Amino acid sequence: MNEQTTLHLLCGKVASGKSTLAKSLAAAKGTILLQEDFWLSNLFADELATLSDYVRCSERLRNAMEPHIVDLLRSGLSVVLDFQANTVETRNWMRRIFEAAGCLHQLHVLDVSNDICKARLRARNASGSHEFQVSDDEFDRISSYFERPTDEEGFKLKIHTALT
């Protein structure tokens, strides 16, 4: 493994810019991008109607992907994990991965206001460019589960703020 091999993690509300940042990070040499929305929409599209469906299918996907991600990291590839790191539970899953792989990690926290996220979300919904449509009400419901990382969790944090 390369001593710079890194698992990049993304924490931010819906439409905060996680996927945009993920693509930028994945442009680095020796780095691969894994996008939860792509995998969920291709594997479970017929099963995703509610937030509960997302939780169930996301857990299945995480369980299937975990050993693969560890293998990618152990092989020396850095991984940008475009899965939401928005709860302590999902961050604990991500911790298991970088600890098992013995690699570095970086938790990118997108600190973007709800107003900016909702404006971006409405534009994204109107463009039809995303796998999933999320209403303002769904945004509020999903955001109610958001848990900002704390220093006590021990992650290497990098805070990103929105310029617009």
> Structure pTM?
0.89
In a domain, 131, yes or no: yes
* Residue 15, domain member (yes or no): yes
CATH of the domain at 24: 3.40.50.300
Tens-digit pLDDT profile for residues 121-133: 888 877 766 666 7
Report how many domains make up the chain.
Answer: 1
Q: Which of 37-65 are b and which e, b meaning 16 or more Cβ less than 10 Å from the residue's Cβ?
A: eebbeeebeeebeeeeebeebbeebbeeb
Contact 119, 16 (CB under 8 A): no
Q: Is the pLDDT of residue 27 over 90?
A: yes
Q: Which domain holds residue 72?
A: 6-161
In a domain, 74, yes or no: yes
Residue 1 maps to a domain: no
What pLDDT score does 131 carry?
Answer: 65
DSSP string, the chain: --TT-EEEEEE--TTSSHHHHHHHHTTSTTEEEEEHHHHHHHHHGGG-SSHHHHHHHHHHHHHHHHHHHHHHHHTT-EEEEEEE--SHHHHHHHHHHHHHHT-EEEEEEEE--HHHHHHHHHHHHHHT-SS----HHHHHHHHTT-----GGG---EEEEE---
Answer whether residue 57 is part of any domain: yes
In this structure, is residue 112 part of a structural domain?
yes
Percentage of residues of the chain with pLDDT beyond 90: 70
Q: What is the pLDDT of residue 132?
A: 67
pLDDT tens for each residue of 71-123 = 999 999 999 999 999 999 999 999 999 999 999 999 999 999 999 999 988 88
